[in-house]
Amino acid sequence: MAPHAPDTRAVHAGRDDLTALGAHVPPIDLSTTYPMPSVEAGGASYDKMGTGNPPDPGDTLVYQRLWNPTVARFEQAVAELEGLPGAVAFATGMAALTAVLVATVADNKPHVVAIRPLYGGSDHLLATGLLGTKVSWVRPDEVADAVAPDTGLVVVETPANPTLQLVDLERLVADAGDVPVLVDNTFATPVLQQPARHGARIVLHSATKFLGGHGDLMGGVVAADDEWLHKIRPVRALTGALLYPLAGYQFHRGLQTLPVRVRAQQQTARALAAWLVEHPEIQRVYYPGLPGQDPEGLIGRQMAGPGSIVAFEPRGGGDVAEALVTRLRLITHAVS
């Protein structure tokens, strides 16, 4: 049977167990603790999940910090959309990145090669070295020379926040060699880009943005190959950064409309970018769909479209920009 179209997958992903449950809508499991048939069974389940393995059918889940069925459905849905075997969801996007960095430091690979621009929170976390990482900031064409024996990750965001710079992932993966590439796919979403198709082993989302989509949910999720899933799950279990199950249910529900929302937002962004380019008081517009802003032809080859984020600089600099945002009436002056 031919694979389902992306819009169909978005509706049905993460729902494989519903028929057996006799349910049409995924149930919400808010239990913080689970009965143990015996001390031995409870200990075996704890050890299994605490070391990065999913529970087997019939296992006690022991404690919500280790595993939650509602969150697991959301994780599987994201993994299906990204084309990876699994995912791990967290309370925030920064908690998700933290788990990956902790895992690579634990592997005695503390060196991270990171491409700027990068989301400010991610940039700050790497720059501080708080988690024991050491970072080399590079341009995309400098990655191969920056990789060292103790390099554990190459980190990139494409489209980048806030300049919407695009990076050729296939070339980046080739330059990284054996070093895993982590792609922050928040701005593109799996609707427009699946980094794993181009060789990335780890895909990160601040789910707070597009996956949630309505400004009332906070979370993060990392989709990854089996090796990295096994590394990341114990970090979440031991540090306690699990996504709250009710938020997991809402994120999962939101994925059903993600393709429709992203395409509608992209259509608006195209029109806005075209209008801003012609405005006499606008000095520069950042949008990959504009002429000259995708020099490597990645739209259509790597991304299905230019996305729905637009950035611009008014003439007159920061003071004019601040005056502009304070006069907005329809658009909220806020982050995220």
Instruction: Give the span between the Cα atoms of 63 and 222, in whole angstroms.
Output: 21
Which of 184, 231, 286, 287 is the catalytic position?
184
CB 181 within 8 A of CB 173: yes
Which of 7, 48, 65, 263 is the catalytic position?
65
Which of 48, 116, 171, 209 is the catalytic position?
209
Q: Is 119 tagged catalytic?
A: yes
DSSP code at position 296:
T
Find where tokens 């990065």 sit: 52
Instruction: Give the span between the Cα atoms of 315 and 217, in whole angstroms.
Output: 35
Find where tokens 């031995």 sit: 40
Instruction: Give the span between the Cα atoms of 149 and 41, in whole angstroms.
Output: 42
SS3 40: helix
Q: Is 73 tagged catalytic?
A: no
> CA gyration radius for the chain?
21
Measured between alpha carbons, how far is residue 10 from residues 6, 20, 48, 144, 257 in Å?
A: 6, 20, 30, 36, 8
Instruction: Give the span between the Cα atoms of 311 and 246, in whole angstroms.
Output: 33
CB 96 within 8 A of CB 221: yes
CB 291 within 8 A of CB 284: no
Closest CA to 263 of 185, 201, 189: 189
Tally Cβ neighbours within 10 Å of residue 265: 16
Amino acid making up residue 11:
V
Per the DSSP assignment, residues forming a β-bridge with 299 are 303
Instruction: Give the span between the Cα atoms of 124 and 121, in whole angstroms.
Output: 5
Which of 34, 46, 63, 119 is the catalytic position?
119
Instruction: Give the span between the Cα atoms of 111 and 146, in whole angstroms.
Output: 10
Sign of the alpha-carbon dihedral angle for 145, 146, 148, 152 = negative
What residues act catalytically? 65, 119, 184, 209
